[in-house]
Each structure stands twice: as structure tokens, then as C-alpha cells.
Amino acid sequence: MNITEDVPPALTALDRPNSYIGRSVPRPNLARLTQGRGQFVSDVVLPRMAHVAFVRSPHAHARIKAIRTEAAKNAPGIVAVVTGRELAEIITPWVGVLTHLKGIKSAPQYPLAVERACWQGEAVCAVVARTRALAEDAAELVEVDYEELPAVTDPETALDPGTPVIHPELGDNLTFERKLDVGEVDKAFAEADAVVETTFRFGRHTGVCLEPRAIVADWNPGEQRLTVYQATQAPHMMQNLFAKHLSLAEHQVRVVTKDVGGSFGIKVHTYADEMATVALSKLLRRPIKFVADRLESFVTDIHARDHRVHAKIAVKGDGTITAFAIDDLTGIGPYSVYPRTSGIEANQVVNLVGAPYACPNYRAQARVVFQNKNVMCQYRAVGHPIAVAVTEALVELAAAKIGMDPLEIRRRNLIPDDAYPATSAAGLKFELLSHHASLAHLDAMMDYSGLRAEQKRLRERGIYRGIGFASFVEVTNPSAAFYGVGGAKISSQDGATLRLDAQGAVICHTGVTEQGQGTEAVMAQVVATAVGVPIERVKVVTGDTDNTPYGGGTWASRAAGIGGEAAWQAGKALRANILAVAGSILQAAPKALDIRNGVVVDADSGRERIGLDEVARIAYFRPDTLPPGFQAELMATRHYVPRTWPFAFTNGIQASYVEVDPETGFVKLLRHWCVEDCGTVINPQLVDEQVRGGIVQGLGGALFEHCVYDSRGQLLNGNMADYLVPMAAEMPDIEVAHVVSPTADSELGAKGAGEAGTAGAPGAVINAVNDALRPLGATPITETPITPECVLRALGKV
Amino acid sequence: MKPAAFAYAKARSLDHAIELLGTREGARVLAGGQSLIAALNMRLDAPPLLVDINGVSGLDRIERPDGQVEIGALVRHAQALGSQVVARDAPLIARALPHIAHPAIRNRGTVGGSIAYADPAAELPACLLALAGEVDITGPAGRRTVKADDFFLGLFETALGPGEILTAIRVPAATPQMRCGFAELARRHGDYALVGLAACARADGAGLRDSRFVFFGVGATPVRARKAEAVLDARGFDGLDEAVAALADDLHPEDDIHASGKAKRHLAGVLLRRVVREMQDPWA
């Protein structure tokens, strides 16, 4: 374990002569994207392509009595007006359950509501026209007779006997429930010197992508083949689902994913309107485009969080944490989202509360209930921000109660760095974490004692600043344990295929996808290093189920750790294959040769022997000059899936420094720090920006972002003026550093880094705000977003 | 988010614009389009005709007639922000402008459009009212001038009649005795205010006279806090607590998605204290 500097030290297994591992290599797609030459779905234009707009339910819950489409069908430019009942003939419904989430239940969901609309924004009718504008014009002419039904909106009463059951055939509104009781929780609380018990409320919010959801579906009746251009994180998963629900074989479906403008977990689910678009293409036998606009994105893109957690912690006078207990309740909309389910976030909360600490006693209950609001599902850092905020706020409230410094209580309880492998109370298996090294680095990096002195000085002048921390554990590199064992066709393995082209460059096809985060750069770095070529001579191809190796795509921070390792192994295989050819040309033992900077060299002396262009020329155009019986194989494929550990857990710690104006309740973010350990850092700049971007989304949830619903299930702020995404002016400088504990599960040693920022930021901010308000006698704040009103309430001013 | 179909006509002159507006009932003036186009795209509004006045000459000037500052309706926020005349002679407006949205919007959005649109949480309507300014209007019946006090009638409702165009605003130029103050609270920089305050008064010894404290984001229009003004005029800075208490009668903000009415009233009090202190000692 060591601390990385600007340029991390050379890494043993990866210490190739022209290694790109650990270097901030600019991404190869930068020029294309910055010159506006990206290919996003909205750029796709096909002959005879028509556009769909959806008529969406204005009610949270309503019976559809009649849909009158005549006027719309006679509108200019109209291709078709299709109702849910008609579309149900083309495509089968789906149910978002997994077998390993015991007892989870949901109801069949259709691409367009058939009998009932169950949330405000659910599509009830599709209007297809020559242009989107004409489709929207005609959509206004569709008349739907609704009979409004009572809306279930409050999770607290969703299970009450008097509350209507949204899907009567399910018996109740309970989607999923999990209970856990480990160690001697009651004893620990009975014997505690201090107990803190409180209720946390996390506001429902969403992920706002620069590019909205977008899809072009092109059913070709001549070929009996469906080609789907889709902004998705998981092309192969979608291929499987399109095939399954249109009753096609998977080889009849091709999913093409070119550039994607951000995903964050938003684009890894089955969306009813996208399934409708695919079905419409099959029905109408022509390409159909759907690009969600911002208004419909707010009521259809998955929401997340929205948890109420009763929680308590037991501590001894010396700071030893002896127990955690939580009761989590979350409302997930009317359907569990397919195919990953909407039970995962609550499940993660149960898994992750208390996870950084060596505390053996833990009781948890999580209940997931249906409600008549937009669906909720996995968004960046699934469950982590909730579990981390609950755990870390409890830890700091307990520290305050016993008069202990917040870093000190962590030093006394974080799992020691030499105690690995270790298992958490919830049963998570940790290969190697570095909580203490991370904490020590953070302490020095932020000049903690200096900040405390500044805080004290400023308080005397009536300026209230606060410092808050959040230690965290992040789930990355999931094996089949995440979804596969539950029956979902979501691949946990991934592949890479490398080909030496005829001029000695390397073409890499990978199953992981580029969402704007820099996958292409990371893959190119790994391949260039493994094969031994300059990075300019690597071309990475992603996102095409006809051409890329089968794989899971990009989610759960898996692209670099899993896709990267597959590329590394494929690179080694291709190098061996190239050296076999070179050996036969040079009459040398392949083992005595290596490839450096695109040239075959003597491994010992580094003397240049033959360029890869020449190897390729001979292999492809003059194979007759090679020895009889020798066949060059200049293409290699390797796959990888973690086998030793079900997940590669990472860890880290964040700190937030804020100033609170006690008169207005406004919170100003001054600075933010994060030390995290994602194992091998392949590209420091990309990792740091992942962490920063993640922190910004975490800060959004902490202070700004909130899908505000009224009691009738109406979203009140579904637009970019009223829904507050975090913007640059409010963001603090964010300093990022790393501790490096590679996973031994792979040679690359890389773990994921995509969610660490989002995981820890809300907890750190909650703690910082409470630290700032503590001398004012405020009630601790345990809700997000922390609005000015929330602070004023804590201070008793409103 | 595609607008319903609308006709578009580009006016060559003010008279032409008035003529065009008369051709279709419900026709709307297009200036910077920063609010109008968004409303069209969201289909919150579907006018049959947009009359584009961006080509009308003479509406984009900032002038300094005797004792006054006149800002043409087509002056962009960015242009006003860069104007020395505005900075020197209309300091309240200069103070408010950086709070309006973001550079891209300020490059297109116009002063006249902001006043005519009359968003109750916008900065410029409050400034115009605080400065006791006036607006020039041209319509089918000719030209008229309306005082700011008579201009803002209700939620997005002004004294502008059908077929009329706001052509300029005028405010008194700053004098050495004039004190102005501005503050707003927005959850993100550039958002419409949670609560804002634009204030103007005449310094009279240690006190203030003729004070006009205009809150925005707290009602259907910019709202003058007349009772608080009266207290401050009568008692000067010693009356600050009483003035803050008087806001309970002056302001009746309703709950919105960002804050309760109660919190808004509290914040209005905080702003009043801060702005009055600033006006008391502008060099602090």
C-alpha cells in the first residue's frame, strides 16, 4: 500500500517498458467530441424514419376509460396513433423481480398503460409522425377519458390496511423486505455509554444527463432483423430484452451504442417508452426515433434515494462503536424496474450501513413499497449515499455526545488496515481496504488542525464554519453475485478482442461502453501497454452487439476493473501471438523477444529487430514466406470475471468544509477533499474527474436536487428552472488523492472509482453543517437536501 | 418540447411592429426570447404570431436625458452591465444585473423584455419600482408613459395593452444624496430569487427619506414594503427592528417549492436589515 503522487510509481505486474498505466493520457475521443463530431442517437437519421411523441398521464393513478384518436390520426404528417392495447399485441410485458432478492414482487408492466396509468407521466398513447413537432401537435388532439383513482404517495402509510393496494393481485403494497440481525444488538444498546437515535430523510432525486434518453429502432422485415441505436450502458442486456419481449432470437437484434452523453445509472434500465419505440418499429415496419425531452425525462427517467431511515448507534465512553440499528423505508413507484429491480438500493443500504467499522452487532430492516410516483431504481452509487450518510452522521453525533474528535472516533473503530481479509457485520467480504491510511492522508492533506483553529477564530467573529467527514466503502467490479445469480441476463464477465491490422496498429473491440467517462482512453492505455505499441496505434471500438465481445457494459464501476482486465489479458495474448510470428520470421525464440513502442526487440538488450508493420505485412500478404505449417493468429480474445471475490470493495474518506449563514440558513461549500483507494490507478486524471463528478452529484443530492411531489402524486418541479442541479458557481474546489491497494483478483489490480464521490459527499456535508451549527444549539439536521429552510428550522427560526 | 406552429414576422420599424401586432389576436413581441421561447417550447403558450423587434433600430440605446437614465427596450442585460452610464447613474440597476441568470442568457435577454414579462421574482421590475421609474409604451393609439407604480398589476400582468410595445424605461439619475441597496437570496447563482430586495432612498442627515423598499419573489408582483418604509422614514435606523416587524403587514408570501411563506418572510427581514445597514454606511 502506498500513497500516489502526481505520477504514481511504476507497478510491478504492469511495469512494461512503455507503460501507459498510471499516466494521464488524453482521451482519444476528445477531438471528436469537442469538435461536435460525436455520434449521439439524436444524430442518427435513417430513410423513412418517423418520430414518436407520447401522450402521458396527467394523473398519478387513473383508470383509462377511453382513448379517442380520430382527430390525431387526421393531423398533418401523422404516421400512426397507437394505444397500449394495440401495442400489447406486439410486445410482451415484463416483471422486475430477481430470484436472489427473496420475496420481491412486482406487477406486469406494459410499454403503454393498458387499463390504468399508475404514475403522472406514464405513457398511455403513442403518436408517430414525420417530425417530433408534428407528433407533439397531434398528441394534443388525443383525448383520453380518465377516472381518477386514489393515489398512494406516502410510503409511511403504504402498508396500512386502509391504503388502497396499487396492484390488487399482489395482495399489498410491499415490494420487498429484508431483515438482518447480527451479533448481540440489544445487549450492546443496553450496555452502551451513549446512544444516538434519530430519523433520516433523503429526498427523492434523479440523475440529469446532458444527453437525454434516446433510441432509434429499425425493424427490417426483409432481414427479419431489428437494429436499435440506443443511448445505453448495457447493449447486450438490451439486446436480450428486446429479443425476449418481441419474441425474437438474440441474433435477430443488434444494439448499436455510439457516443453517450452521460448515464450515471439512468441508462441501464428498461424504459416503457423505449420498449414502445422498438415495438412501434416492428408494428410500422420503419425506423422510429424517440428522444426524451427534458420535461418527460423528469417524470420518466428513474428517480432514486427517497428513503426514510430510523437509525441508532451505541458507543462506549472510549469511543468504541458497539452497535448499529436501522429501519429503512423507501417508496419506489408503482413498478419494480426491469430487469435490475428496485429492491437493490434498500438492499445496499442494509449491506453498507456500518461497513467501514469493526462493529459486530448490527440489526437492519428494509421495506420497499409501491407508490403512485415515477419509478425509482439504481442511480450512481446505489444505496451508498444513504448508508454512508446514516452511518457517518450517527458516528459524528455520537462523537459529539461523548466529546470526542470525529477523526479520533474513526481511528478507534475503522477496520485496521492489517486486519484483511475481513468480513463486515452484514457479511461483506473485504479483500484489502485502507481506511486508516486514507484517513491519515486526508488529515494531512486538508491540514485538519489548521482548519479547526481557523474555525475557532472565525466563530469568535460570528462566522460559522463546519468540518464534516465521511468514511465509506464502495461496491465495485461485481461478479455474477450481483444480478446473474438472480436470473437476470446481465453479464458480469466482459471480453476484449484485439486484432493487429495490416500496418501494425491494434484494433480493440470491448464489451464495455463509453458514456463520456473515458472508457476508450482506459482501454487504449491497457492495450497499448500490454501489447507494447504507442497508444496512437490503438483504436478502440465499443457498443455494437454484432461486433463487440459479449459483456455487461458499464455500470457498478466495472468498466476499468473488469473490461480493463479482459483487455489486458487479450493484449498479452496478442503479444504472444505476434512474437510467435516474429520468432518464425527472425528464427528466434519468441520468449527472447518483446514488443516495445511498436517494434519487436530483443527482450534482454532492447535491440530493435522488426517493426509490427513488417510483421503484419508478412503475415497477411506473404504468408508463403513463413515456415510450412505455421499459421499466424493476429487476433486474440480474452474474457474476464472476478472469481475470488464477489465484489472488489474500495474505500475512502471525504471531508467537507462549509460556512453556514445562521440568519439565512444558506450553506456555502468552501472546500471538499476525497482520499480514495480504487487499487491501481490507470489514468489519474480520469479517476480524479470521476471522483470530482461523483462528488458534485453527491453535493447535488445533499443541498439542491429534489423531486418534489404533492400529496396527489404530482411532480411540482419537473423542469430545469425549478429542479436544482448543482452548478459550477456553488461547487467548492475538490481535492482528490489516492491510496493504492490493488486487488489480487486481477493482474491489473484496478477496482472501480465511479461512485466513491457520490457515496461519501452527502454524509460529509450533513456532518459539516451540523458541526457549523453545533455552537448555536441547533437540532441536528438529518435530511437532504439541506435547504435554507431546513437550516432555519434546525435553528428554531421558522 | 417543440413549440406549436406559429407565424413569424420581422418588424422593420416600430410602426411596422405595431401594425404586425394588430394583424393577429394574441400576437406576441419577440425580443430576447429568453422567457418567451422556453414557454413556447414547453407549450405553456401558443401565440399565433411572433413579431420580432430585434431589427427595429433605436431601441438599443442607453441615454442620459436631463436628470434621468433611459434604457431602450432592446438593450441586452450584458450591454447594460457593461455600460458606464448605468454603473454611474443607475447604480441600483448595475447592482442587480449580475444576479440575472448567466452570461449566455444576459447576452440575449433584454431589459425591456424583463420589465414587460414582469416575473414577480425577477430583479429589474423591482429595481424599476424602487427607483420610481417609468416606462414608455407605443401602441396603435400612439405613445404614452406609465409610472412603475402603475405598471405592475398582477402575476405576469402589466399595464401593457393589446398591440402595445414597451420601448424604453426611465429612472432618475443617481444624486449624491441617493442611497440604494440591493440583495437577493437564490439557491443557486442566477436563479430567480427566493427573496430579493431593491431599495432606494434619499439620505437626510443620519436618516432616510422617501424610501422605497421593494421586495421580489414574495408575491404576484414586486411588492413595496410601505409600512416598513414609513417606519424607516419616521424613525431612521433606530426603527429597524420595528420596520422588520412591519414586514408582517407588508408581505404575504405564499409557500413555494423552495421555501415556505414563513421562511420567506423571515428572509425578507434579514435582507431588510442587511440592505438598510448598507444604505446607512455605503462605504462599509
- The full set of domain ranges for chain B reads 7-52, 62-172, 179-280
Contacts of A719 in chain B (CB under 8 A): 42
Q: Is residue A576 part of a domain?
A: yes
Q: What is the average per-residue pLDDT within A268-282?
A: 98
Query: What is each CA distance from B64 to A143, A294, A634, B169, in whole angstroms?
Result: 56, 44, 78, 12
| Residue of chain B with shortest Cα separation from A790 | B259
Distance CA A41, CA A54 (A): 18
Contact B257 A708 (CB under 8 A): yes
Position A535 pLDDT exceeds 80? yes
In chain B, the residue whose alpha carbon lies closest to the alpha carbon of A664 is B267
Gap between the Cα atoms of B172 and B128, Å rounded: 10
Among A640, A660, A694, the domain-final residue is A640
What is the reported pLDDT for A67?
Answer: 98
Residue at grid coordinates 450591454: B79
Residue A565 and residue A601 in one domain: yes
Q: B163-176: per-residue pLDDT in tens?
A: 999 999 999 999 99
- Residue that is last in its domain, among A575, A609, A640: A640
The count of C-alpha atoms lying within 13 angstroms of the C-alpha of A28, restricted to the half-sphere facing its C-beta, is 17
Q: Which residues on chain A are in Cβ contact (under 8 Å) with B262?
A: 798
Q: What's the order of all strands across the beta sheet hosting A288-291?
A: A78-83, A123-129, A50-56, A288-291, A214-220, A225-230, A253-256
Residue A374: inside a domain, yes or no? Answer: no
Contact (CB<8Å) A727/B185 = no
Residue B103's Cβ-count burial label (10 Å; 0-12, 13-18, 19+) is exposed
Q: Does the distance separating the beta carbons of B3 and A664 come in below 8 Å?
A: no
Binned at pLDDT 50, 70 and 90, residue A713 comes out as very high
- The sheet that has A143-148: what strands, in order across it? A116-117, A62-68, A143-148
pLDDT digits (tens, 9 = 90+) for A86-117: 999 999 999 999 999 999 999 999 999 999 99
pLDDT per position in chain B (284 positions), as tens? 899 999 999 999 999 999 999 999 999 999 999 999 999 999 999 999 999 999 999 999 999 999 999 999 999 999 999 999 999 999 999 999 999 999 999 999 999 999 999 999 999 999 999 999 999 999 999 999 999 999 999 999 999 999 999 999 999 999 999 999 999 999 999 999 999 999 999 998 878 999 999 999 999 999 999 999 999 999 988 999 999 999 999 999 999 999 999 999 999 999 999 999 999 876 55
Reduced to 3 states (helix: H, G, I; strand: E, B; else coil), residue B245 is: helix
**Domain shared by A516 and A563, yes or no:** yes
**A-B contacts at Cβ under 8 angstroms:** 63
End-to-end CA distance of chain A: give it in Å, rounded: 50
Q: How many other C-beta atoms can be found within 10 angstroms of the C-beta atom of residue B82?
A: 12
Q: What is the domain range of residue A577? A: 2-38+493-640
Q: What is the pLDDT of residue B280?
A: 84
d(CA B195, CA B259): 10
Is residue A288 predicted with pLDDT exceeding 50?
Answer: yes
Which of A654, A662, A671, A666 has the alpha carbon at shortest distance from A731? Answer: A671
Give the pLDDT score at B237. Answer: 87
Looking at residue B283, its pLDDT comes to 57
- A78, amino acid identity: I
Q: How many CB atoms lie within 10 A of CB A102?
A: 11
Question: Do A79 and A145 have their domain in common?
Answer: yes
What is the percentage of chain A residues whose pLDDT exceeds 70? 98
Taking contacts as CB-CB distances below 8 angstroms, the residues of chain B near A717 are 257
The cell for A268 is 441501464
Q: What is the pLDDT of residues A140-170, one digit of tens each?
A: 999 999 999 999 999 999 999 999 999 999 9
Topology of domain B7-52 in CATH is 3.30.43
Query: Do the Cβ atoms of A724 and B188 come within 8 Å?
Result: yes
CB of B138 closer than 8 Å to CB of B208: no
Q: How far is the CA of B237 from the CAs of A607, B130, B274, B276, in angstroms?
A: 87, 19, 12, 8
Residues A648 and A565 occupy one common structural domain: no
Give the C-alpha separation, A571 to A499, whole Å: 10
- Do A767 and A654 share a structural domain? yes
Kindly state whether residue A571 falls inside one of the protein's structural domains.
Answer: yes
CATH of the domain at A88: 3.90.1170.50
Q: Which residue in the set B5, B259, B270 is minimally distant from A663, CB to CB? A: B270
- Within an 8 Å CB–CB cutoff, is residue A714 touching chain B? no
Query: How far is it, in rounded angstroms, from Cα A511 to Cα B92?
Result: 59
Domain termination residue (choose one: A640, A660, A676): A640
Q: A121's torsion region: left (phi>0), alpha (psi -120 to 50) or beta? A: left
Q: Are A369 and A175 in contact (CB under 8 A)?
A: yes
Q: What angle do CA A285, A287, A291 make, to 5 degrees?
A: 135
DSSP 3-state of A135: helix
Partners of residue B43 in chain A, C-beta under 8 Å: 136, 140
DSSP A338-384: TTT-SSHHHHHHHHHTTTTB----EEEEEEEE--SS--B---TTTTH
Q: Are residues A388 and A471 located together in one domain of the fold?
A: yes
Chain B CB within 8 Å of residue A710 CB: no
Provide the number of structural domains found in chain A. 3
pLDDT in the model for residue A12: 53
Same domain (yes/no): A470, A615: no
Residues A681 and A789 both lie in one domain: yes
Q: Mind giving me the DSSP string for A757-784?
A: HHHHHHHHHHHHHHHHHGGGTPPPP-EE
Cis peptide before A421 (omega within 30 of 0): yes
CB contact under 8 A, A724 and B263: no
Give me the helices (H) in B102-179, please.
Answer: 103-108, 111-117, 123-130, 148-151
Spell out a b/e string for A509-527, using b for 16 or more CB atoms within 10 Å of the CB, else e.
Answer: bbbbbbbbbbbbbbbbbbb
- CA distances, A331 to each of A129, A176, A366, A367 (Å): 36, 11, 11, 9
Domain-located, residue A541: yes
CA angle (A451, A453, A459) in 5-degree steps: 100
B42 vs A132, A295, A704: nearest CB: A295
**Is the pLDDT score of A8 beyond 50?**
no
Is there a contact between A789 and B259 if contact means CB atoms under 8 Å apart? yes
Shared domain for A84 and A28, answered yes or no, is: no
Do the Cβ atoms of B31 and B112 come closer than 8 Å? yes
Residues of B in contact with A727 (CB under 8 A): 188-190
Taking the Cβ of residue A412 and every Cβ of chain B, the question of whether any pair is shorter than 8 Å is answered with no
Q: Supply the pLDDT for residue A3.
A: 46
- Using alpha carbons only, what angle is made at residue B154 by residues B150 and B158, rounded to the nearest 5 degrees? 50
Question: Mean of the pLDDT values across residues A238-256?
Answer: 98
**H or E element, residue A794:** helix A788-794
Q: Indicate whether A130 pLDDT > 60.
A: yes
Q: What are phi and psi of B80, to 5 degrees?
A: -65, -40
Domain B179-280, what fold?
Enolase-like; domain 1 (3.30.390)
> Do A787 and B260 make contact, defined as CB atoms within 8 angstroms?
no
Sign of the Cα torsion A378, A380, A386, A387 reads: positive
Query: Which of B257, B260, B272 to probe by mutation at the A interface, max A CB count within 10 Å?
Result: B257
Overall average pLDDT of the A635-657 stretch: 96
Q: Which of chain A's residues have a Cβ under 8 Å away from the Cβ of B253?
A: none
User: Are β-strands A253-256 and A225-230 bridged in parallel, bridged antiparallel, or unpaired?
Assistant: parallel
pLDDT digits (tens, 9 = 90+) for A543-592: 999 999 999 999 989 999 999 999 999 999 999 999 999 999 999 999 99
Least confident range from A9-23, A457-471, A619-633: namely A9-23
Q: Is the pLDDT of residue A24 over 70?
A: yes
Extract long-range pairs of B52-56: CB within 8 Å, 24+ residues apart.
B52/B8, B52/B9, B52/B10, B52/B11, B53/B11, B53/B14, B53/B17, B53/B29, B53/B165, B54/B10, B54/B30, B55/B10, B55/B11, B55/B12, B56/B11, B56/B12, B56/B13, B56/B14, B56/B16, B56/B17
Examine the domain organization and report whether A416 and A465 are in the same domain: yes
Residues A119 and A17 in one domain: no
Distance of CA A22 to the CA centre of its chain: 23
How many whole angstroms separate alpha carbon A313 and alpha carbon A393?
10
Q: Is the pLDDT of residue A6 over 80?
A: no
Closest-CA residue of B relative to A665 is: B267
Does residue A182 sit within a domain?
no
Nearest to A136 among B2, B187, B194 (CB): B2
Interface probe for B, chosen from A696, A719, A792 (most Cβ of B below 10 Å), is A792
Answer whether A727 sits within 8 Å of B190, measured CB to CB: yes
Specify if A688 maps to a domain: yes
Give which of A513, A751, A498, A766 is closest to A639, Cα–Cα: A498
A792 interaction partners in chain B (CB closer than 8 Å): 263, 266
**Average pLDDT for residues A612-621, to the nearest whole number?**
98
- In the predicted structure, residue A638 carries a pLDDT above the cut 50: yes
| Beta-carbon separation of B2 and A724 below 8 A | no
**3-state SS record for A289-305:** EEECCHHHHHHHCCEEE
In a domain, residue A358? The reply is no
Alpha-carbon gap, residue B91 to B80, rounded angstroms: 11
Q: Coil, strand or helix: which one is A200?
A: strand
Are B185 and A716 inside 8 Å of each other by CB? no
Q: Is B259 in contact with A719 (Cβ distance < 8 A)?
A: no
The predicted pLDDT at position A481 comes to 86
Q: Which CATH architecture has domain B62-172?
A: 2-Layer Sandwich (3.30)
Whether residues A285 and A140 fall in one domain: yes
Of A140, A295, A789, the CB nearest to B1: A295
Q: What's the start-to-end Cα distance of chain B, in Å?
A: 48
Report the C-alpha gap between B165 and B15 in whole angstroms: 10
Q: Are B257 and A717 inside 8 Å of each other by CB?
A: yes
Cell of B248: 408582517
HSE-CB for A614 with a 13 A CA cutoff: 13
Locate the chain B residue with the closest alpha carbon to A798: B263
